[in-house]
């Protein structure tokens, strides 16, 4: 599922970024570009990042 339409970032891409070592929403943003344009996906992106970190 696409989380960020501006940058074409999926929930899978966010999870993969966390698997690869990202530990904060900032790091996920830096790696994927998620939430760096219009910002509408920020809330969902942050939520998925948090969930993925919890599951690590
Ligand atoms: Fe993610 Fe616009 S939908 S920055």
Q: Cα of 9 to ligand 1 centre, how many Å?
A: 9
pLDDT of residue 9: 98
Whichever domain contains 44, its CATH number is: 1.10.10.1100
CB of 6 sitting under 6 A from ligand 1: yes
Counting the structural domains of the chain, the total is 1
- Paired tokens of 37: 């344009």
pLDDT of residue 56: 86
Q: Cα of 56 to ligand 1 centre, how many Å?
A: 25
Give yes or no for a contact between 40 and 26, defined as CB atoms under 8 angstroms apart. Answer: no
- Paired tokens of 43: 């809330």
What confidence tens digit (pLDDT) does each residue in 15-25 have? 999 999 999 99
The ipTM (two decimal places) reads 0.98
> Which residue segment(s) compose the domain that 50 sits in?
2-55
pLDDT of residue 31: 98
- Paired tokens of 41: 């996906």
What confidence tens digit (pLDDT) does each residue in 37-50 have? 999 999 999 999 99
Give yes or no for a contact between 28 and 34, defined as CB atoms under 8 angstroms apart. Answer: yes
Instruction: Tell me the percentage of the chain whose pLDDT exceeds 90.
Output: 98
């Amino acid at each position: 599922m696409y989380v960020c339409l501006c940058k074409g970032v999926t929930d899978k891409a966010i999870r993969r970024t966390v698997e690869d070592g990202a530990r904060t929403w900032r790091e996920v943003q830096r790696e994927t570009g998620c939430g760096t344009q219009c910002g509408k996906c920020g809330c969902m992106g942050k939520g998925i990042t948090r969930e993925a970190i919890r599951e690590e």
